């Protein structure tokens, strides 16, 4: 995004920048939300790989469609516990989770 565009958005009342900048998160908080995000994405990938709808996944997880949606959205009301338990219940292996958590290279 170029400077002009940013300025325009700001003028219109929009927040510009990363969520981190916006919310003024500390390093640990950032690491934690990114950790959760990685798990969320993995869960969504696992569900997709099994060709399940959120409703079907919820059944297997003994939970509800809305919870599944929140899990995949990394909603604040979802704990890492729930994400990890859900991954295991859908058949993910410990190694899959470790792999998902490996830090991604930052884009240049």
Instruction: List residues binding a second copy (CB under 8 A).
Output: 27-28, 31-32, 34-35, 79-81, 84-85, 88-89, 93-95, 97-99, 101-103
In terms of Cβ atoms closer than 10 Å to its own Cβ (0-12, 13-18, 19+), residue 5 is: exposed
Give the 3-state secondary structure of residue 24: coil
Q: Which of residues 43-82 bind DNA (CB under 7 A)?
A: 53-55, 58, 61-67, 69-70, 72-73, 76-79, 81-82
61 binds, among a second copy, DNA, none (CB under 5 to 8 A by kind): DNA
74 binds, among a second copy, DNA, none (CB under 5 to 8 A by kind): none
C-alpha to C-alpha distances, 17 to 21, 52, 66, 92, nearest whole angstrom: 6, 35, 29, 34
């Amino acid at each position: 995004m170029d400077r002009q565009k940013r300025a325009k958005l700001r003028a219109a009342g929009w927040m510009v920048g990363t969520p981190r900048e916006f919310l003024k998160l500390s390093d640990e908080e950032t690491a934690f939300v990114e950790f959760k995000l990685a798990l969320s994405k993995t869960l969504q990938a696992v569900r997709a790989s099994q060709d399940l709808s959120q409703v079907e996944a919820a059944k297997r997880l003994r939970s509800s469609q809305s919870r599944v949606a929140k899990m995949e959205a990394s909603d604040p009301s979802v704990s890492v516990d729930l994400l990890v338990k859900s991954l295991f219940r859908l058949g993910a292996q410990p190694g899959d989770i470790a792999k998902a958590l490996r830090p991604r290279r930052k884009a240049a």
